[in-house]
Amino acid sequence: MAIGLALLVSADPVTIRQFSHALQELSISPDVCQEVPASIRLLNRRKFDAVIVDLQLGGQSGLILDEVRLSPSNRTAVTFAISGSDVEATAALRKRAGFVFERPLSTRSIRSTLKPAYGLILRERRRYFRYPVAISVTVLRRNMPEVRCYSVNVSEGGMAVSTFVPLSPGEEVQVQFTLPDHKVPFLAESRICWLKTGQLGVRFVSFLGERKSELQDWLSQKLEEK
């Protein structure tokens, strides 16, 4: 089961085959795109944990790296460049990527560059991972009755809850909940970030004590189980 998603942009069949195999070895699913315009459209539609750009595509490859930085959902993705044959022409593009694969490529050289970045890719995946779970949630408001509801999903940064109580986006609240297999409830200073019929979004601002690490560990375990 894949635990990460990478956008691989290259028009070279050998390169595509080499990287697809290396990524799958690390349980990262490659989404292959051979054209720059199509890859930019994908970046606007999907969330990727890593983006790998073949500089053999020429100057247009820089448009992909620019799009990653400008994308609201992908700007923190781990970026890689595959070196082009014209080193001088692609020197500036190489600097815009977090990691660079040097040609000539080999299975060993690809692995040696991917492995140091693997932890960053997993961290990126975990930051956006939302685990669907229905648990009892209490929203505590200042000088207002508490709101009892149920979660729809939980992530490292917040949760979606099911309720018809009209809380206001931007409102500061406290959220109390107990994760499955946990006995001690979590209490998080939070902020309402969106509202729609029957649901609202909560962004965690801070936790008491070391509870954030506990939540991260729990989510990591659920991510590995997927």
Query: Does 202 lie in the same domain as 146?
Result: yes
The pLDDT of 186-193, averaged and rounded, is 96
| CATH assignment at residue 28 | 3.40.50.2300
Collapsing DSSP to helix, strand or coil, 183 comes out as coil
Question: CA 105 to CA 14: how far, in whole Å?
Answer: 10
Residue 73 predicted with pLDDT over 80: yes
Tokens of 214: 């506990």
The beta strand positions in 65-198, using DSSP E, are: 78-82, 99-101, 131-132, 136-140, 147-154, 158-162, 172-177, 186-196
Q: What's the CA gap between 2 and 28, in Å, rounded?
A: 5
Separation between Cα atoms, residue 139 and residue 161, nearest integer Å: 10
What CATH number should be reported for the domain holding residue 167?
A: 2.40.10.220
In contact, 34 and 6? CB cutoff 8 Å? no
Q: Are 65 and 149 in the same domain? A: no
- The span from the CA of 26 to the CA of 218, in Å, is 21
Instruction: Tell whether 14 and 106 lie within a shared domain.
Output: yes
- Residue 27 per-residue DSSP state: T
16 and 69 inside one domain: yes
Q: pTM of the prediction?
A: 0.70
Same domain, 112 and 206: no
Domain interval for residue 35: 4-128
Residue 89: pLDDT above 60?
Answer: no
Question: Does residue 193 surpass a pLDDT of 90?
Answer: yes
Same domain, 70 and 12: yes
Count how many domains the chain has.
Answer: 2
The larger pLDDT score, comparing residue 128 to residue 7, is at 7
What's the confidence (pLDDT) of residue 126? 80
Strand order of the β-sheet with 78-82 is 28-33, 4-9, 50-54, 78-82, 99-101
Asked if residue 184 and residue 201 are part of one domain, the reply reads yes
Q: In this model, does residue 41 exceed pLDDT 80?
A: yes
| Same domain? 63 vs 175 | no
For residue 87, pLDDT over 70 is answered with: no
pLDDT at 35: 94
- Residue finishing a domain among 128, 149, 174: 128
Alpha-carbon Rg for the chain, nearest whole angstrom, is 21
Contact call for residues 193 and 151 (beta carbons, < 8 A)? no
Q: In this structure, are 119 and 135 located in the same domain?
A: no
pLDDT in tens, 125-164: 887 788 999 999 999 998 899 999 999 999 999 999 999 9
Mean pLDDT of 166-175: 93
> Whole-number mean pLDDT of the chain?
90
Same domain, 119 and 207: no
Whether residue 60 is found in the same domain as residue 10: yes
- 23 and 111 housed in the same domain: yes
- Strand 186-196 to strand 199-207: parallel, antiparallel, or no bridges (unpaired)? antiparallel
